[in-house]
Amino acid sequence: MKILFLNGPNLNLLGQRQAEIYGRDTLADIEAQVRHRAVQLGAEIEFRQSNLEGELVAWIQQAKGRFDAIVLNAAAYTHTSIALRDAIAAVGVPTIEVHLSNIHAREDFRHKSLIAPVCRGQITGFGKKSYLLALEASVDVNESK
């Protein structure tokens, strides 16, 4: 089973960015923990980050036939991107929406996720653990296919 982890804008700054909201781990730290758990679950993962909406769209499109699931932290594009939503709907690869912070407990503009209706589910608010929960969810989604 192959799972693609995609991370959107500003997540390259994790560790230095608003640690009170996003924690002190860098994205590389989170990737290492996801890799460790993926080995235990027998899953292969690929981990990418981009600040560019179009690059994220291209990666989602290319996932068709190559990955069994996508875990997507679209960051700010969660709240703005019809293009990401359309890409997820178009490729049909089960996608799990993930956030470090609880987007529903923050500013009003973060309460709306444009991608949620086309994702299998949303995991939000558990810090880096959100990524591990999303990994488990991806494995479950594939095992119950």
Examine the residue annotation and report whether 22 is marked as an active-site residue of this protein.
yes
Window 32-61: contact mask with ligand DQA (x via CB under 6 A):
------------------------------
Size of the site for ligand DQA (CB under 6 A): 10
Least distance between ligand DQA and beta carbon 30 (Å):
10
Least distance between ligand DQA and beta carbon 35 (Å):
19
**With CB under 6 A as the contact rule, which of the stretches 61-69, 82-90, 94-102, 135-143 interacts with ligand DQA?**
94-102
Candidates 101, 122, 134, 135; binder of ligand DQA (CB under 6 A) is: 101
Check 36, 77, 99, 104 and give the catalytic one.
99
Task: Considering the complex, state which of residue 85 and residue 99 has its C-beta at the smaller distance from ligand DQA.
Answer: 99
Interface with ligand DQA, residue 99, by CB under 6 A: yes
CA–CA distance, 66 with 84 (Å, rounded to integer): 18
Measure CA of the first residue to CA of the last residue in the chain; give whole Å.
12
CA–CA distance, 105 with 40 (Å, rounded to integer): 33
> Is there a contact between 135 and 71 (Cβ–Cβ < 8 Å)?
yes
Q: Which residues contact 97 (CB under 8 A, 6 or more apart)?
A: 72, 73, 74, 78, 113, 115, 116, 119, 121, 122, 123, 124
Interface with ligand DQA, residue 103, by CB under 6 A: yes
Q: Return phi, psi of residue 64, to 5°.
A: -60, 125
